[in-house]
Amino acid sequence: MNSQNILKFWGTKLDLKLDSSEFHDYEVHKTDLDYDDEILDINTPITYSTLVISTTGLTNASCERNSISLVEYDNRINNPNYTYSAFTWTLPYVQFDLSLPNAAFTNALTNYDVILENDVYRFIDDNNNEHFFIIDSYNNVVSNPFSLNLSGFTGTTGYTGATYACSRELSGITSGITYCCPQELIPNAKPWAYQINHGGGDDLCDYIIQRRTEKGWTLNFIFNKENLPWTEGRVFYYWGTRGETPVEDYADNNLSFSFTDDGKILWRALRYSGVCLDDGTFSETYYTSSGETPVLCLSGTSNDFEITIAFDRYKYYTDCNLENDGGWNDLITGRTLSSTFKEWLTGGTETYIDTEVLNKKWADEKNRRLGTLKIYLNGRPIYKIKDWEEVIPSDRGLQPFIQSWGEGTDHIGYLHNKGATCFNMKRIKYFEEPLNFVHVRHHYLTESKPNYNIVECDADCVDTVTGITTTVPPTPTNTRTPTPTPTTGIVITPTPTPSLLYYAYLFIEPVTGITSIATYMANAGHTWGGFNLGVPNTSGTTFNNQINTYINYSGWTNGELPGIRTSRIPQYTGGFDNYGNPMTIYNFMTHEILANTVKCDAWYTWIIPNIGINNLKQTQIGYNYSNGPRNLITSNMNSTIYNLTVNYGGLVLPVGNYRVYTTKPSTIFRTNNNDNIYFKGIQVN
């Protein structure tokens, strides 16, 4: 509650108390009609000239790319001698991505990353004929009708693994004219990612999205969870460089928004800073900044729901001030003439390539990039943080800067690679201005609520405003993460589309919950009081009853204890999960618990449905407690425990038969959460 003095201009004093005033910006003017009268009409949508992205094209788009279909581009329009064979080719997505020969692509991205839809791939067949392939779609049945060999993909000059950024560039091969590319088309599998520095203007050479706007920006989404758990929400928006390993190339060049496993919205960015030392030198530092909303209300996300995210910079800039006042000109440390000698000699317009590098001047100008970040659920404010630093894409490193809807990007310090959101993205919008709460609410009432099946929250929005957390990452090195070695050749096997999704369930029992769990279990007539106090009774019937009661404890679902977490169990072998680990049939995917999610030591216990692993047993689980999702240590599970069956019939988990997987009495799965924790299924028997 805030006390505000209004009407002071007329000599009258009145104290007005406003609910949720931390989220709103109230202002009283002396003059009448000094307001936007469009917002008073809640029946008519407002037309915003700053709305540059608005589409429903990602509705029902898949969150997986199991295969990629390529079709040959008919280049006879540019080259009459081109050998056009009308090739079509559907390949396993990950193997194709790994096969791209561009060292800049495969080394920088290590495993795989977002392929851009405009990409054109040059291929040389066994008869030394040149072919160009473009992307058609994803997730078709794998086929190789012409027995083409992946080794035919030639060395590439682009940074995306493709020979050309788009088919229009092929027109300039013989003419010497530079052709710019259109904006990438929306694919049938997320993400929709595109470079922002082309696609605009009559010649398509202008920025389709501004690197920096006059005052800020607004993101707007309509989601539907489609009855999936929050763990399937993952990253739903990314802005910045597509994927870089050197920290100096991606710091202050990355931002993502994602859903957390417990139903919050998380933002993350890796930042650049530094201090001046006594000897006059500038010492560079890097840190991770992040923040999260309160838990999104259950009823308000039960069907379609709207998320709006707005950044409002404190200062308004136009023209050259956009570049100079905290903008990318502060990064420029060198300029190279890129005009040809002929252009220069004939008096043509000189063009330059600027070298952008993080430096002290950029750090000193941080205040010019600060503003307020707000997040809304169904037109209602739920989160606000001041002094939030905007992210301005910078041309550093090998990778382009992109806007990505539906997925993050790999190898940005593992901050944004949680995988594509499996929630249905029914509508997305991007405004190149910050909508205030009045316009956000008006947009919700006129364009969202009437057109989607939105259920309002059945309780008042919580006014708790969470702040910023920072984590200093390990000292960066120039060592690139090793690339998992793909098998030689590709076995063409159709990848089945899973008809059902199965999950492994993680129960986190903190030491602070010992008393409450033990009391609850004792009141239910059990002598076992949780994993912190010992091993369950291994008599079949007693064990079954104890675990059923344990699962049904209300503390798992009412916020008293960490919520039950889930990890998908793949029903096929092939590809990599969101953390770059190979997916193996029936072994649950890599699961991350962010640092300080649990504030004390805790037992970590996996409970897995038998049907999800084909009635086998998860005999080994990998773990890492020091920020290493790919450096997992294998641990054997307690066979006495996992040989017992739990016939669960409650409401917390789906009804069915389960087994419990723990290292108890060994304390391997009892740990603190000072660093990120990772688990993954390793072996089933």
Cβ neighbours, 10 Å, residue 258: 23
pLDDT in tens, 275-318: 888 887 888 888 889 999 999 999 999 999 999 999 999 999 99
CA–CA dist 375, 459 (Å, integer): 18
DSSP 22-80: TT------SSTT-S-GGGG-TTSPPPPTTEEEEE-TTTT-BS---EEEEEE--GGGT-T
Is 198 in contact with 42 (CB distance < 8 Å)? no
- Rounded average pLDDT over 54-65: 94
Check residue 255 and give its pLDDT. Answer: 95
Of 490, 485, 481, nearest to 68 (Cα)? 490
| Beta bridge pairs of residue 257 | 237, 267
pTM: 0.67
- Rounded average pLDDT over 660-672: 96
DSSP 120-146: EEEEE-TT--EEEEEEEEESPPPB-TT
CA distances for 326 relative to 285, 323, 365, 386, angstroms: 18, 7, 5, 17
* CATH code for the structural domain at 190-323+358-466: 2.60.120.200
| Beta bridge pairs of residue 403 | 194, 239
- Rounded average pLDDT over 40-59: 94
Query: Counting beta carbons within 10 angstroms of the beta carbon of residue 211, is it exposed (0 to 12), middle (13 to 18) or buried (19 or more)?
Result: middle
- Rounded average pLDDT over 359-380: 93
CA–CA dist 352, 671 (Å, integer): 54
**What is the pLDDT confidence band of residue 358, given thresholds at 50, 70 and 90?**
confident
CA–CA dist 603, 597 (Å, integer): 14
**What is the pLDDT confidence band of residue 471, given thresholds at 50, 70 and 90?**
very low
pLDDT higher than 80, residue 45:
yes
Check residue 391 and give its pLDDT. Answer: 95
Q: 44 in the Ramachandran plot: left (φ > 0), alpha (ψ -120 to 50) or beta?
A: beta
Check residue 481 and give its pLDDT. Answer: 37
**What is the pLDDT confidence band of residue 590, given thresholds at 50, 70 and 90?**
very high
Check residue 106 and give its pLDDT. Answer: 37
The residue whose two tokens read 């993101």 is 219
CA distances for 85 relative to 164, 168, 480, 482, 591, angstroms: 20, 20, 39, 38, 45
- Rounded average pLDDT over 104-124: 63
CA–CA dist 208, 203 (Å, integer): 12
pLDDT higher than 50, residue 415:
yes
Of 436, 422, 62, 393, nearest to 227 (Cα)? 422
Higher pLDDT, 128 or 423: 423
Which H or E run includes 678? strand 677-684
The residue whose two tokens read 């986190």 is 508
The one-letter amino acid code at 372 reads T
Higher pLDDT, 30 or 311: 311
pLDDT higher than 50, residue 408:
yes
Of 264, 292, 255, nearest to 394 (Cα)? 255
Q: From start to end of 358-446, where are the E strands?
A: 370-377, 380-389, 401-405, 424-431
Check residue 8 and give its pLDDT. Answer: 40
Higher pLDDT, 604 or 153: 604
Check residue 25 and give its pLDDT. Answer: 53
Higher pLDDT, 151 or 263: 263
b/e map 627-637, b = 16+ CB within 10 Å: bebbebeebeb
Per-domain residue ranges for the chain?
Answer: 1-33, 67-175, 190-323+358-466, 502-684
CA–CA dist 593, 570 (Å, integer): 20
Phi, psi of 172 (to 5 degrees): -95, 0
Is 374 in contact with 310 (CB distance < 8 Å)? yes
- Rounded average pLDDT over 220-238: 94
The percentage of residues in the chain with a pLDDT greater than 90, rounded to a whole number, is 50
CA–CA dist 467, 156 (Å, integer): 45
Of 643, 678, 650, 638, nearest to 534 (Cα)? 638
- Rounded average pLDDT over 24-31: 53
The one-letter amino acid code at 387 reads D
Is 469 in contact with 289 (CB distance < 8 Å)? yes
Indicate the range of 136-140, 338-342, 456-460 predicted with least confidence.
338-342
Of 313, 337, 467, nearest to 392 (Cα)? 313
b/e map 452-484, b = 16+ CB within 10 Å: bebeebeeebeeebeeeeebebeebeeeeeeee
Is 392 in contact with 19 (CB distance < 8 Å)? no
To the nearest 10 degrees (0 to 180), the angle between helices 540-551 and 514-523 is 120
CA–CA dist 257, 182 (Å, integer): 26
pLDDT in tens, 637-663: 999 999 999 999 988 898 999 999 999
Number of residues written out for the chain: 685
The rounded mean pLDDT for the chain is 82
- Rounded average pLDDT over 184-207: 92
Indicate the range of 14-18, 101-105, 667-671 predicted with least confidence.
101-105
